[in-house]
Amino acid sequence: MQFKKSLGAALAVVAARAQEANSTAGNLTTVLAGNENLSGLVTLLQSSPDIVSALSGAQNITLLAPSNDALGALNSSGILSSGSQEGLIQALLNYHVLVGVFNSSSITETPAFPATLLNNTAFANVTGGQVVEVRVEDDEVAAITGFKNNVTVTEADIAFDGGVIHVIDGLLTIPPNVSVIAQEAGLSAFLGAVNATNLTEAVNTTPDLTIFAPNNGAFEDISSALGNLTAEQAASILQYHVINGTVAYSSTLANGTVPTLGGGNITITIIDGEVFVNRARVVTADVLIANGVLHVIDSVLSPDNNATANGTESDDEPYVAFPGASSGSDVPYTSNVPSPTSTNEALTSTNNAVASGFPANTGAVGDNSAGNPEASSSSSSAFAAPIQTGAIGAAALFGGAAILANI
């Protein structure tokens, strides 16, 4: 049975179950054991008594509980028996637990990004916990995680003493690092440029980053200008695409300016659902990464040409921020970057109106004063706002690029 958010009967059930969410609901293990579609999860938890103990005592949490079919796919993958990475199973389970009680009625078509219990820095470097994107799509509650993998809530609002459970039809995927995402998303020029300037470790490990990654067409459009760059110039341009210390998801972006890692400011403008960074357009938003979020843009930003967007640009070709630059026959920086092992349509598809239906935010980037629903518990956080953490050693990590590799 699929959960249909738009049906009045379903909303009535939600309201009734919310009233029943009290001390008589039962503890987590009892409620899970009483649902025949969650027997696989019960078995998995029995092998991790420390996790069961922690979850049983937790309050104000939301468990996205994989169904038996979802866990069957995990078993067939061999992850449970391989012991491939220490702490992987615990990290995976923690990633299925949201901080706060989020009933289905608080989830809308506007993307929201609640934090999870995944704080192990071997898997995530996001202050407050790695997030899950939740939204209503086609009248169903969906959770979107690493690689833009999408799972659907099939049974909603099962109350237990510590919060609420939603049964989901797949496993959440822990977001990987920038290098993995860039390769799978076909951002080979961006990845090649990062590698060529010896910034790979920095973008993969620095906590709390927002990255605006130009697509291959953007690099190709300025091909003639790239061959003349020094290593320092190339590194400076890349740093201008990174916000350090703030994880800014699409629904928390707002009109305004924000400083970049390179020192200059970028300007965010939202026009009829389209998000512009200076005059570059965001074409794929909210690609979760291990240490923040990545947004794909259609042109390369220039620290020396930071003109803002205007109301007529939604129908224009991608803006070229490097005067006199021309395109070439080959995409720069891609010669030493392997091709994706598979085609991921969710990662490679583009959507200009990435902010369609979002609240009309105003003010500086990170203003979350409008539109993000909160958890039902007053003691839990709202859906994840941009996380202000400051520059955690990034100046040392990003300062100084090695010799630029051949383009």
Do residues 74 and 220 both lie within one domain? no
Do residues 44 and 123 both lie within one domain? yes
Q: Flag the least confident range among 3-17, 171-185, 225-239, 345-359.
A: 3-17
Within-domain flag for 386:
yes
Token pair belonging to 135: 């939204």
Do residues 249 and 359 both lie within one domain? yes
Domain closes at, from 168, 200, 221: 168
3-state helix, strand, coil in the chain (%, to 5): 30, 20, 50
Do residues 137 and 217 both lie within one domain? no
Whole-number pLDDT of residue 314: 60
CA atoms within 13 A on the CB side of 16: 6
Mean pLDDT across 99-104:
96
The amino acid sitting at 273 is G
Model confidence band, residue 82 (pLDDT cutoffs 50, 70, 90): low
Whole-number pLDDT of residue 273: 82
Q: How far apart are CA 296 and CA 307, in angstroms?
A: 19
**Residue 265: pLDDT above 60?**
yes
Within-domain flag for 316:
yes
Whole-number pLDDT of residue 81: 57
Within-domain flag for 240:
yes
Do residues 210 and 346 both lie within one domain? yes
Q: Angle, to 10 degrees, between the axis of helix 39-46 and the axis of helix 68-77?
A: 50
Which has more pLDDT, 256 or 379? Answer: 256
Do residues 97 and 246 both lie within one domain? no
Each residue of 30-56: pLDDT tens digit?
999 999 999 999 998 887 788 888 888
Whole-number pLDDT of residue 382: 24
Q: How far apart are CA 235 and CA 246, in angstroms?
A: 20
% residues pLDDT > 90 (the chain)? 57
Do residues 158 and 256 both lie within one domain? no
Do residues 118 and 190 both lie within one domain? no
Whole-number pLDDT of residue 85: 64
Each residue of 299-347: pLDDT tens digit?
999 999 877 776 666 667 899 999 999 998 889 999 888 877 777 888 8
Do residues 96 and 235 both lie within one domain? no
Whole-number pLDDT of residue 84: 57
The count of domains in the chain is 2
What is the CATH classification number for the domain harbouring 394? 2.30.180.10
Which has more pLDDT, 23 or 206? Answer: 206
Whole-number pLDDT of residue 305: 84
Do residues 153 and 193 both lie within one domain? no
Token pair belonging to 219: 């690099």
**Residue 406: pLDDT above 60?**
no
Q: How far apart are CA 177 and CA 124, in angstroms?
A: 9
The dihedral of CA 98, 102, 107, 113: what is its sign? negative
Domain closes at, from 168, 203, 236: 168
Q: How far apart are CA 62 and CA 64, in angstroms?
A: 7
Domain closes at, from 168, 186, 221: 168
Per-residue b/e over 116-127, b at no fewer than 16 CB within 10 Å? bbbbbeebbbbb
Q: How far apart are CA 300 and CA 328, in angstroms?
A: 15
Whole-number pLDDT of residue 326: 92
Q: Which domain holds residue 160?
A: 8-168
Whole-number pLDDT of residue 25: 77
Residues whose CB is less than 8 angstroms from the CB of residue 6 and which lie 6 or more positions away in sequence, other chains included: 139
DSSP notation for 350-404: --S-TTTT-----SSTT---SS--B-SSTTSPBSPPP------SHHHHHS---PP
Within-domain flag for 1:
no
Q: Residue 144 pairs with which residues in a beta bridge? A: 133, 150
Do residues 140 and 263 both lie within one domain? no
Model confidence band, residue 407 (pLDDT cutoffs 50, 70, 90): very low
Q: How far apart are CA 217 and CA 196, in angstroms?
A: 18
